[in-house]
Amino acid sequence: MDKILFSFGHGYSAQALARLLLPRGWRIIGTTRTAEKAESLRETGIEPVIFPGDGGVPPGLEQATHLLISAGPTADGDPVLNALGDTIARIAPRLDWAGYLSTTGVYGDHDGGWVDETTPLAPSTRRGRWRMQAEADWQAVPGLPLHIFRLAGIYGPGRGPFAKVRAGTARRIIKKGQVFSRIHVDDIAQIVAASIDRPDPGAIYNCCDDDPAPPQEVIAHAAELLGLPVPPAVLYDEAEMTPMARSFYAESKRVRNHRIKQALGIRLLYPDYRSGLRALLEQDPPTE
């Protein structure tokens, strides 16, 4: 039987997953918002669909064997369920697997303490509350073989600190006790692929590496790898930041990843930011 993944919001993480599945013979249908982005998806072997579209059922959805949701919620709720809730409910029982990419922001602030998948959800940001509600809404779809992936801060090719360090615009924002967990996009891909191979409906997985760290350490290490001066330190209370950037500093926690290792047999490609940054630099070395 053909394996068909329908991917809502086929962005950075979903594209990394596709790079693993396409060589295995999968058919992947991915939604995007614009014709320009649709063409770029087509060039990578994805069958693009514009969503939201004309309000009808997107072509290929009812033939899907697997469903991935990366599209983020808003104050109005989950955009996929809002537009296609009845269709999702109808096809849910015949799907082999469904995955929802959420965020570790649903755990809220723990003053640098550890959280795992059993920690009560207590998001302190607006986006975290939207995610918590979206998780619950997807969990409420009858018969849906749902798996939830709570992603830590994502980095990878094209998403890392090197560009800002090279440009001289990077800063080390210092907030006492602040610590973040991170995950390389290729590790997200292998975690989701392992779940597809080992379905366990109802499962929730934290996706993060082994080494939560203060953000200023990551910036400093990136500069050292480039052989450039360590960017200046700026106190959080004195830093000019966008509301979005400042919201990330509203929460501090360390995220445990035991479940992906024990239940899915994951061996992280990049168990800490040092190995991840080193690999990124090798893939995109500085030009003279």
Domain 4-154+184-208+256-269 indexed as CATH 3.40.50.720: yes
In this prediction, residues 256-282 reach a mean pLDDT of: 97
Q: Torsions phi, psi of 93, nearest 5?
A: -65, -20
> Which residues, 6+ apart, have CB-to-CB distance to 253 below 8 Å?
104, 107, 108, 109, 110, 111, 112, 113, 114, 115, 179, 181, 212
* Calpha distance 275→184 (Å, rounded): 10
> Which residues, 6+ apart, have CB-to-CB distance to 190 below 8 Å?
20, 266, 269
One-letter amino acid of 168: G
pLDDT in tens, 7-40: 999 999 999 999 999 999 999 999 998 888 999 9
Tokens at residue 112, please?
A: 């640098």
Specify the pLDDT at position 245. Answer: 80
In this prediction, residues 94-108 reach a mean pLDDT of: 97
Surface-to-core class of residue 288, CB atoms within 10 Å of its CB (0-12 exposed, 13-18 middle, 19+ buried): exposed
* Calpha distance 88→67 (Å, rounded): 10
Domain locations along the chain: 4-154+184-208+256-269
Specify the pLDDT at position 288. Answer: 45
Residue 239 has pLDDT above 70, yes or no: yes
